[in-house]
Chain A
Amino acid sequence: MKELLKDLVEIPAPSGYENQVRNYIRQSIEPLVDEIRVDSMGNLLAVRRKNGAMRLMLVAHMDEIGLMVTHIDRQGFARFVSLGGVMPIHCVGGRVRFLNGVQGVIGVEKNPTSYEIPPLEKLFIDVGAANAEECPLRIGDVAVFERPFLDLGKRAVSKAMDDRVGVAVLIETLRRMEKSEFEIYFVFSVQEEVGVRGATVAAFGVEPDLGLAVDVTATGDTPKGHKMEVRLGAGPAVKIRDAGMLADPRIIHWMVQTAEKAKIPYQREILEFGGTDARAIQLSRSGVPAGVLSIPCRYVHAPSEMVDMEDVENAVKLLLRLLQTPPRLDSHS
């Protein structure tokens, strides 16, 4: 699975410009599904049919955070804004790669009075051009962080783990699954990082009976880090809540029971910020029971996000078991 993950994270696909990673995923899974299509917004929907069964929407987002050029100045420096939650603290000195292959480094205006972290407006991209005429960039060009996959054995580091690790979990699940108790829509969504936009329209189109997002969550296991229970290597997390949703108690129960029975390690996750595509599913049409299978991830939205490969493997195992044991949705008890 490391090879798959390496391939996925190294493809540049910022929000709104996901076609490269979409093509890769499509090629990987097309023989494994009954039907595959791209919707009007760019979501990739792959279906495993099962007549009369509950319809489950599984979603992982294809997009990653990125940058968009807003202005090229006379000296050939490019100003930019973020696509999604890019944090200035991770930018200065970082390298970026544009979809057209151009590479550059992020510099910062000198501030004689402060060593505070500057806002994005004070940063610029230098592609080595001597002036505006030499600069190969145009307003509107988009870039992602340039950072190759780093294999640390048990753990792996890269940009775009959020949420290519979720994409990898879904692809691996498809590869290993034989039959399931659901009709499953594997949805690889666009524009999650700018406000769960792709999943919003995908959920409307799919009309699922229940939904599950596979996405990263933060951890509390780093020095003076977030105050939260989740830690790397202790298993995938069952989301109880985040800033965007309260997971459906029936879905939480289903996930917890299934993990316990299969003796797969898991963690209970309370995230005090953030949100996932599951929120979009939950609020679609007349409402849909929804939850999240989270992959613990350190340094989310930094150019070097870290996951534990055992957590990833256990996420696939848990997902495969979940597909064999449909939940009871008829009671709220």
Chain B
Amino acid sequence: MGRDTENLTQPAITGEQLRLLEKLCNAVAVSGDERQVRRLVMDQIKPYVKEMRIDALGNLLASQEKDSQKPLEVMLAAHMDEVGFMLTAEDDREDGIYRFELVGGIDPRWLAGKPVVVGPNHQKGVIGCKAIHLTTAEERRNAFTVEGLRVDLGGGGAKVGEWGTFATPFQKLGGSIRAKALDDRVGVATLIELLKYDYPQVNLEVAFTVQEEVGLRGAKVAAHALNPDLAIVVDCTFAYDLPLQEEDSFYAPENERYNTRLGFGAAIYLADRATISDPRLVAHFVRTAEEKGIPYQFRQAGAGATDAGAIHLQRSGIPSISISVPGRYLHTPASIVRISDWENTLRLIYHALQTLTVDILKSDR
């Protein structure tokens, strides 16, 4: 059984949180049909929120009981959707062979031969490809294209327009988790946990967003509606912290473009493709981490984007920052996240919210 959170001085990842993350990761919520995850979230947060509603795009917006004495409205956002595919044509109804298109960024090289689930009832299937006996050496050198692959459900029953994704079940591996859709179910689970606590200066407004993987679409309208004083986005960012293979340098090769590293703690964003984090928020998170002794790292600036890219540009501007749990192999059938990194991310945001005051917006950006 999970420990009673009321008696803890800070949040922790225990069996309770892991079981919830398992349910969230195993649910199917490809961009455009996030219902399964949304239902799970609604059940979880009901005891901790005063209000919740689903907006026109499907975002779940919830807030704690408003205390007019608290001067800061803070938006927390994590996206419910995951990358996957949509069935686009029935090649053979009786055989259950379907063409499909990708939803969100997936490298087509990771598709062939992967077990998948399709539709609201999780119909099982596989993305088939030619057996090795039938291929030529030339064919084996070339990557498969989406156009050349089919989803095989072993029989009819699915409908064109239904969404599907990889079928990898959640698995705990020592101090790590292997699952599909950790991007961003780990963020969703973090938000659920943060809603259980009270923050002295902060009214929490939480957005579980849709359609992040197809262009930050849900967060855009959610932030316009909530119009908070500032926003914190919780996501899962890629870690490419593997040893380098190349040996063409005078010095021993050093991996310089890891983005983030597993085991190094919560990843604080400085800048990505879509957002330059508010430097006042960066300073607040760094100070919090150092005072509380919570491991953190800076996510390397560069490619990739989070819901903050849409949020910070709404209305007259919303100071924003993203904090991520690092994950290896994102947007493939199986990603890996360290439980310690998740816990450190959760704790960092919790403590940052505890000490956040309205003064942060009064200082010079």
Which listed segment binds B: A150-158, A200-208, A224-232, A262-270?
A200-208
What B residues does A200 contact at CB under 8 A? Answer: 313
Contact check, B317 vs A39: say whether CB atoms are below 8 A apart: yes
Query: Can you list, as one digit per residue, whether each of B313-324 has a CB less than 8 Å from chain A (1) or not (0)?
Result: 111111100000
Chain A residues, CB < 8 A from B276: 15-16, 83, 191, 194, 197
State the Cβ distance, B248 to closest chain A Cβ, in Å: 9
Select one of A15, A38, A74, A204 contacting B251, CB under 8 A: A74
Tell me if B40 is interfacial: C-beta within 8 Å of chain A.
no
Query: How many residues of chain A are within 8 Å of chain B by beta carbon?
Result: 32
**Contact assessment for A41 and B301 in the assembled complex, using a CB-CB cutoff below 8 Å:** no
Partner pick for B319 among A17, A41, A73, CB 8 A cutoff: A41
> Complex formed: what's the CA distance from A198 to B313 in Å?
8
Q: How many residues of B contact A (CB 8 A)?
A: 26
What separation, in Å, do the CA atoms of A39 and B319 have in the docked complex? Answer: 10
Q: Is the CB of B317 within 8 A of A201?
A: yes
Q: Is the CB of A81 within 8 A of B365?
A: no
Bitwise, A77-92 to B at CB < 8 A (1) or not (0) is 0010101000000000
| Complexed CA–CA distance, A198 and B301 (Å) | 19
Asked whether B302 lies within 8 Å of A79 as measured between CB atoms, the reply is: no
Q: Are B365 and A140 in contact (CB under 8 A)?
A: no
User: In the complex, A75→B312 CA distance in Å?
Assistant: 37
A73 near B256 (CB under 8 angstroms)?
Answer: yes
CA distance A194 to B282 in the complex (A): 19
Q: Does B98 touch A at the CB level, under 8 Å?
A: no
Contact with A along B253-287 (1 / 0, CB 8 A): 01011100000000000110010100100100000
- The answer on a CB contact under 8 Å between A70 and B254 is no
* Contact of A312 with B by CB under 8 A: no
Of B274, B279, B316, the contact of A17 (CB 8 Å cutoff): B279
User: In the complex, are the beta carbons of A40 and B256 less than 8 A apart?
Assistant: no
DSSP majority for the B interface? Answer: loop
Verify if A53 is at the interface (C-beta below 8 Å from B).
no
Q: Is A129 an interface residue (CB 8 A)?
A: no
Does B300 make an interface contact (CB < 8 A)?
Answer: yes
Q: Which of B274, B298, B314, B317 has the most CB of A within 10 A?
A: B317
Q: Do A19 and B361 touch (CB < 8 A)?
A: no
Q: Tell me if A140 and B254 are in contact (CB < 8 A).
A: no
Q: Which chain B residues lie closer than 8 Å to A19 at the CB level?
A: 364-365
Q: Complex: how many Å from CA A39 to CA B361?
A: 10
Q: Which of B350-365 contact A (CB under 8 A)?
A: 361, 364-365
Is A121's CB within 8 Å of the partner chain B?
A: yes
Establish whether residues A201 and B256, one from each chain, have CB atoms under 8 Å apart when the complex forms: no
In contact, A121 and B316 (Cβ under 8 angstroms): no
> By the criterion CB–CB under 8 Å, are A83 and B271 in contact?
yes
With A74-B254, A83-B276: A197-B300 Cβ-Cβ less than 8 Å: no
Least CB separation from B365: chain A residue = A42
Q: Across the two chains, which residue of chain A brings its CB closest to B300?
A: A70
Please determine whether A68 and B301 come into contact, CB atoms closer than 8 angstroms.
yes
| Minimal beta-carbon separation of A129 from chain B (angstroms) | 15
Whether the Cβ atoms of A79 and B315 lie closer than 8 Å is no
CB proximity of B237 to chain A, nearest CB, Å: 14
**Which residues of A sit under 8 angstroms from B282, Cβ to Cβ?**
140
Is there an interface contact between A40 and B316, defined as CB atoms closer than 8 Å?
A: yes
Asked if B301 contacts A70 (CB within 8 A), the reply is: yes
Please judge, given known A-B contacts A79-B257, A191-B276, whether A68 and B270 are in contact too, CB under 8 Å: yes
**Contacts of A71 on B, CB cut-off 8 Å?**
256-258, 300
CA distance A191 to B365 in the complex (A): 13
In the complex the two chains form, what is the Cα distance from A195 to B361 in whole Å? 23
Contact of B271 among A16, A75, A204 (CB under 8 A): A16
Across-interface contacts of A40 in B (CB, < 8 A): 316-319, 361, 365
A38 touches which of B314, B315, B365 (Cβ 8 Å): B365
A75 to B251, CA, bound (A): 9
CA distance A202 to B316 in the complex (A): 6
Distance in angstroms between the alpha carbons of A17 and B365 in the assembled complex: 8
CB closest chain-A residue, reference B230: A40
User: Which residues does chain B contribute within 8 Å of A17, judged by CB atoms?
Assistant: 279
Are B270 and A140 closer than 8 Å at their CB atoms? yes
Instruction: Name the contact of A79 in the complex, choosing from B256, B298, B313, B364 (C-beta under 8 A).
Output: B256
Shortest Cβ distance from residue A122 to the other chain B in the assembled complex, whole angstroms = 11
Supply 11 A–B pairs (Cβ within 8 Å), ascending by A.
A17-B279, A19-B364, A38-B364, A68-B271, A79-B256, A81-B301, A83-B276, A139-B298, A197-B276, A201-B314, A205-B315
B residues touching A (Cβ–Cβ < 8 Å)? 251, 254, 256-258, 270-271, 274, 276, 279, 282, 298, 300-302, 312-319, 361, 364-365
17 extra A-B contacts, CB within 8 A, seeds A71-B257, A139-B270, A197-B313: A19-B364, A19-B365, A40-B318, A40-B361, A40-B365, A41-B312, A41-B317, A70-B257, A71-B256, A71-B258, A139-B300, A140-B282, A191-B276, A201-B313, A201-B314, A201-B317, A204-B317
Which 4 A-B pairs give the minimum distances between C-beta atoms?
A201-B317, A16-B276, A205-B316, A41-B317
Q: Which residues of A contact B (CB under 8 A)?
A: 15-17, 19, 38-43, 68, 70-71, 73-75, 79, 81, 83, 121, 139-140, 191, 194-195, 197-198, 200-202, 204-205
